[in-house]
Structure 1
Amino acid sequence: MRPFTYIAPQTLDATLDALRTAQPGTKILAGGTTLYDLMKLDIETPPAVIDVHRLVELDTIDPSERELVFGAGARMADVADHPAIRTDYPALSESLWRAASQQLRNMATVGGNLLQRTRCAYFRGGPEFPCNKRTPGSGCAAIGGQDRGHALLGGSDSCIATYPGDFAIALIAFDATVDTLGPNGERSVPLAELHVEPGEDPTREHVLAPDELIIRIRVPATPAGRGSTYLKIRDRESYAFALASAAAGLTFDADGMINECRIALGGVATRPWRATEAEQTLIGQRLTPQTARHAGEVAFAAARPGTHNGFRVELGIRTVADALRTAGERATR
């Protein structure tokens, strides 16, 4: 790890002052569970880090009748175990429980989790492997290489690394918004617009400026929260990214027809992926094994398998169908 300057402001105002005068390349440190890891690998080499994990203004959890509000500094474990989240939004709770080990959940923040680097083994593997995300213009070793865990959706000729997070998948299904703060003021960004596909510049993963800080996450209240789930399929139960995952939420009318449907995909795309066309296939329909599978097929209709990851199309379809079944059971309790 290279030497760096450590800055630990005690208030949001002091944080803004630090951001105004920060050297180019300075990073914001929250839980540090991803940043320190990449610094040890010499992938991230910031001249300074601004530690915001002690800011009490960011450490809040506020479920209300109108919306859920999470301070960006709230710990993943605390949000996952909050009684109101577990009862009214099980998909959000489950996405955090299944995201990492207990030790990491106790340290990592929900804001930092949203902005963890999109990465793959080639990105972490060192200079012997070409990686446009690490060294622009060097190529992508995953394309035509060992791509078993790489993206089926949203990839480009420059990068097919899969977005690794779980919480963002559940959040995008429920129309979450992030509020940010920087020297230029405060703004709100729909989560659906926060992350970007790699295109020709895989180094750009989100729309935030280098001096912009997520301060809170807001989720509109919806009855579909109670009838929801987050299903994650992976090679092993811990310390593994998803091979396929799905967040699903449903409500039914008095006749048993679906009147609200939410589906988002994880583990299969270069960013959190909302499957809006799949949702529309279920509106006004009964939830059956056939309609649930059809929704999964529509969700993966645009998938572009590579050399070794084609099996994950069928896996993803089944994951969506199984998540819808669980959501349907919860919605009709």
Structure 2
Amino acid sequence: NVFVEGTAGSEGEVAKHLSALIAPLKGRVAVGCFASNVARMDSVIRAAEAAGRRVALAGRSMHRITAAAKSVGMLTDVQPFLSEEEAKIWPADKILYLCTGSQGEARAALSRVAEGTHPFIKLAQGDHCIFSSRVIPGNELPIARLQDKLADRGVQIYTEKGHPGIHVSGHPCRDELRQMYAWARPKIAVPTHGQRRHLIEHGHLAKAIGIEQVVTPRNGDMVRLAPGHAAIIDEVPAGRLFVDGGILVEEQGEALRERRHAASNGMLIVAFALDRRGKMVSDIDIRSVGLPGNKDRPLEEVLDDLAERVEDTVRGLKGDALDDEIAIEQAVARTLKKASQKVWGRRPIVETVVLRL
């Protein structure tokens, strides 16, 4: 929100809007929000209690975060949460489910409710689901699918678009950032959250309000804060690591790149034999993985045509190229990828096996 003037809004206002929305509802009520936002959970719980409802938690994160909050003195003056067994039999007009999964996560509580597979929450015609959250960019489709499934069960959906005030962003706007800097009065500002343009704009804002030193690093930049002037002084490895077959690999490692390529483009495996002079002494065997055929042109027919193209390519090689397996493999790959582009609109991975007799 560094590009947004003004303020994002207060949690106190959210609590008022949630109370006003929940109070007149009949039937079961479920509220989806981030478990990590304890202030929002507190707002929902107090809105439920003001409406004469008891709260049941749904989702491991909800149980974990509420336990952590209570351990530091928060959420201690609210009624005990209903157990799963109590939630199964509690009157519909007297219960509120506080759920994980507002972003459409597949295994979170709300998705299981929408699928009808949740062990103790069943929502149907006349029930309500409030999304006290905003759509995170990239989650539009899973959230839409979740809400469609709930609506198909007859559940009334409430979002911030139709009911402004039931959510405020957790990201401060420009006035709130200025206030934060006025309170903290730092000598150095290092914006670290957001896309590149957010970090740069945050740096401009910090400089404009008088912060002496501003550094806007990229992922992997090493920042020296002291001694001397704050500056980027080195770079360290950064990025995601995947566990692939029990082995740690980089996100853009060769094996994963090949697997993604094969998943979208398929694969062709070619095998044939040449004698010492480079003369072909076997049939050409081509097999495919993930490439289609149809009744008008069966896959076997397409592969036979490709085999003929490979034979023409190999017979067209001259001199040293016939003694160089790598040159042969590259020539075959070029031929098959070009032909595959015309047939399937794809450029598959080509693996060539050349046997020398």
User: TM-score, normalization: structure 2?
Assistant: 0.22
Structure 1 or 2: more helix by fraction = 2
Please say which structure displays the higher CA radius of gyration: 2
TM-score between the two structures when normalised by the length of structure 1: 0.23
